[in-house]
Amino acid sequence: MDTRRPLRTLALALGTAGLLVSGCSDGGSSSGAASSAEAASASPSPVPAALKRYYSQDLSWRDCGVSGFQCTTMKAPLDYAEPDGGEIELAVSRKKATGPGKRIGSLLVNPGGPGGSAIDYLQAYAGIGYPAQVRARYDMVAIDPRGVARSEPVECLTGAQMDAYTQVDQTPDDKAEVTELGAAFKKFAAGCEKRSGEILPHVSTVETARDMDMLRALLRDERLNYVGASYGTFLGATYAELFPGRTGRLVLDGAMDPSLSSEEANRDQTAGFETAFRAFAEDCVQQADCPLGTTSASDAADRLKRLFARLDAKPVPTGESRELGESLATTGVIAAMYDESAWPQLRSALSAADSGDGAGLLALADSYYEREPDGKYANLMFANAAVNCVDLPPAFAGPEAVEKALPSFEKASPVFGRGFAWAALNCAHWPVPPTGTAHRIEAEGAAPIVVVGTTRDPATPYTWAESLADQLSSGTLLTYEGDGHTAYGRGSDCVDTAINAYLLEGTPPPADKKCT
């Protein structure tokens, strides 16, 4: 379990463990290449001389092999501080505006993570599931961030090694278990360095935001229009901070607070999952099939803690070689907190686990980790750690710091606090130093930005949306009073209408608008 940054995988976004993964074909005809002059003229301020060759490259679009979608690649400097050094190749996909109505421009989408494939999200959801009127007037576009999926992905562990890593006890009870957990984090970091050492220093959110600006220019858009979810909100806010004059219509849904340290963010997120679990528990105890009792949310929490303790002492079978212990069970519960539509599945999985069958919770955990039935993992968790650990200093330098912080984490969540605190130790042994620091993002001079917060969001607590909207000089807060992670396209007509109007007309919702 790694919750240092909010994860919004494609599987969770679609409410299913299945991924529609579509690679870009090398075949097909070229179309839509941007000329050097057009690309250069798209930038409202001068491009540094050392980057002009990147901002003036041609994009050769090809059929992806997925109906209606085109794919291409673009080059970017591996290190923006030394643009004449090595290069990195980044994958891009789009679906052109369908009409009717005048085309507004490109709409870049990112599902979060960090580590989620934006191209998978585009091709399986955004490019076909966003409102028809939005798709009619925007070219829907996605770029897999550097180190993610098709864009020179970070690799760390084999499938078998990852299986072992996900089963390590993350609520250590003695010094031996603390040592074992630390060794697992060290092995993970060493594997990343061995397999992806060259790219590890260059997967920061700042560098990805710079890549986005280059893509904006190559798409011949004067300003960047963007919908980012979860971690994608931090990416969008970072873009606005770097390029306020090139910021168009930005929707930041399930917002992060860039002013928080890693420890503060972890503790806040711990409280967010406790809030989400309490909402689940209050619903569960009213259901006839609730495995956590029918009395109160507090009793349900106690019963879940006792189940975790039993699984810690004696894992249960799952029908395959992996058993379900406390770590995988906790991850399975966490996965279901992202979307209330998964609550019935969680009730069934908890009932089965209580009776000695761990298959249901294991399936939920596998969806969180993006593990395929053949034992292979997507690079989600590898990229997630790589970006997190380079963006900010680690939450904790060692076990002693975790022990000191445990009371505050357990206060934030009696159910999850201990595990979340120890999970935040994962960057302590990272092989490259962090390049960023926590700070407020104001983006003075940016166009109006819509920040969306869900009141019982587990992964990005509502207070984060309030804070980001307050920090941004042009931010406006749109509140969804409900459950689950993010709000756009999740069933609220009020939210969808407000965001659609902003994307299509450029008019943000009224300040502090609330939706149910």
Strands 449-456 and 247-253 come out as parallel
Task: Determine which helix (DSSP H) or strand (DSSP E) holds 75, and give its type and residue range.
Answer: strand 70-77
Strands 247-253 and 138-143 come out as unpaired
> In which residue are the tokens 């495995």 written?
291
> In which residue are the tokens 């009213």 written?
286
Per-residue pLDDT tens over the stretch 5-30: 455 444 444 332 222 222 333 333 33
Which residue out of 93, 106, 196, 230 is catalytically annotated? 230
Contacts of 77 (CB under 8 A, 6+ apart): 51, 54, 83, 84, 85, 86, 87, 88
Which residues face 140 on adjacent strands?
Answer: 95, 107
Q: Can you give the pLDDT at residue 42?
A: 41
Angle at alpha carbon of residue 377, lines to 391 and 305, rounded to 5°: 80
Per-residue pLDDT tens over the stretch 284-340: 999 999 999 999 999 999 999 999 999 999 999 999 999 999 999 999 999 999 999
Which residues face 451 on adjacent strands?
Answer: 252, 477
Low-confidence ranges of the chain (pLDDT < 50): 1-5, 8-43
Q: Can you give the pLDDT at residue 46?
A: 78
Which residue out of 139, 221, 457, 483 is catalytically annotated? 457
Asked whether the beta carbons of 421 and 385 are under 8 A apart, the reply is: no
Asked whether the beta carbons of 241 and 388 are under 8 A apart, the reply is: no
Strands 138-143 and 70-77 come out as unpaired
Give the HSE-up count for residue 296: Cα atoms under 13 Å, Cβ half-sphere. Answer: 3
Total residues found in the chain within this entry:
516
Q: Can you give the pLDDT at residue 28?
A: 31
Strands 87-95 and 138-143 come out as antiparallel
Asked whether the beta carbons of 509 and 498 are under 8 A apart, the reply is: yes
Which residues face 90 on adjacent strands?
Answer: 74
User: 472, 497, 76, 511: which is closest to 250 by C-alpha?
Assistant: 472
CA 112 to chain centre: 3
DSSP letter at 230? T
Which residue out of 366, 483, 485, 492 is catalytically annotated? 485
Question: What is the distance between the alpha carbons of residues 200 and 209, in angstroms, rounded to a whole number?
Answer: 16
Active site residue 457: yes
User: 304, 257, 274, 253: which is closest to 470 by C-alpha?
Assistant: 257
Question: What is the distance between the alpha carbons of residues 372 and 155, in angstroms, rounded to a whole number?
Answer: 16
* Upstream peptide bond of 114 is cis (omega within 30 degrees of 0): yes
Each domain of the chain, given as residue ranges in start order, spans: 159-198+260-369+395-423
DSSP letter at 68? T
